[in-house]
Amino acid sequence: MGWADGHIARLTTGETVQFRPRGNSMVGKISSGDLCTVEPLGETVLATGDIVLCRVNGNQYLHLVKAIQGERLQIGNNRGGINGWVTRRQVFGRLIGVAP
């Protein structure tokens, strides 16, 4: 069970979610404890720089789309780290708001 399981479940039913993630991997875009609003992915066309709630190699992240290669998306943090490649099936929502 991961930290975002409940949020992912709600996103898959079409609900927009809010939560306060902890950690420093997204500093500069999201600070630890900021209130993040994430909407279901739906038919949204993703672009490099979008922040998404996703699952990479079994881990859950609210991280950046770093690159797009056909149907694949490279996910990474805001400190230069790369988590790996996923398809849209592993992306559950897109960040639409951040507040302290």
What is the domain class of 5-99 according to CATH?
mainly beta
The reported pLDDT for the residue numbered 1 is 80
Domain positions in the chain are: 5-99
SS3 of the chain: the string is CCCCHHHHHHHHCCCCEEECCCCCCCCCCCCCCCEEEEEECCCCCCCCCCEEEEEECCEEEEEEEEEEECCEEEEECCCCCEEEEECHHHEEEEEEEEEC
Q: How much is the mean pLDDT over the chain?
A: 97
The tens digit of pLDDT for each residue in 46-84 reads 999 999 999 999 999 999 999 999 999 999 999 999 999
